[in-house]
Amino acid sequence: MAVTPPVCDFGWNAPSFTLPGTDGRDWSLDQIAGPNGTLLMFICNHCPYVQAVMDRMVRDAKDLQALGIGVAAISANDAEAYPADSFENMKAEAVRRGFTFPYLYDESQVVAKAYDAICTPDFFGFNAKGELQYRGRIDASGRQPAAPDVRRELYEAMKLVAETGQGPQDQVASMGCSIKWKAA
């Protein structure tokens, strides 16, 4: 079932964390943060919404890194219930897709809860001060193949954040599969 996160809570501060990455090292928010902002993407391996935008997500992340935006992806799904989202499968996905950013495993789901992440994909764009400025979608195509001229909403918003420290006032929330929470 598709779910949609809330609109951007401008100025909300990014909670700090340290999580293991598929590259074999632990990553903190401070290590990920770029001089012009930070983009955190809650994703997973099995979600059809994530798979549909993965190539565009990797492209946009690389382009944003060139603008001084630090980027990381985080998977918080219950891997016991969804084996495709296991840490080993995350490692394979990061290599297969050529991630230029850390892919982090939130096995305890503490970070996803601290961020109030709702779905995959769920994008959190912060300025250089760690203040939330974007919580929108990657573009209008959703699960469909993107038209060649589709507006790059995530890229444009984060480029604006890099240049001005502020995100666009008008944002369209992302949509995706709900995060697969562990049983209480």
Residuewise pLDDT in 10s, the chain (184 residues)? 667 788 789 999 999 999 999 999 999 999 999 999 999 999 999 999 999 999 999 999 999 999 999 999 999 999 999 999 999 999 999 999 999 999 999 999 999 999 999 999 999 999 999 999 999 999 998 888 788 889 999 999 999 999 999 999 999 999 999 999 998 7
- Kindly report the pTM of this predicted structure: 0.96
Cα 69 to Cα 82: distance, rounded to the nearest angstrom: 31
Domains, the chain, with CATH or none:
2-13+34-178 (3.40.30.10)
CA distances (Å), 166 to each of 29, 88, 156, 170, in order?
A: 20, 37, 12, 12
Cα 89 to Cα 35: distance, rounded to the nearest angstrom: 31
Strand 176-178, strand 119-120: pairing: antiparallel
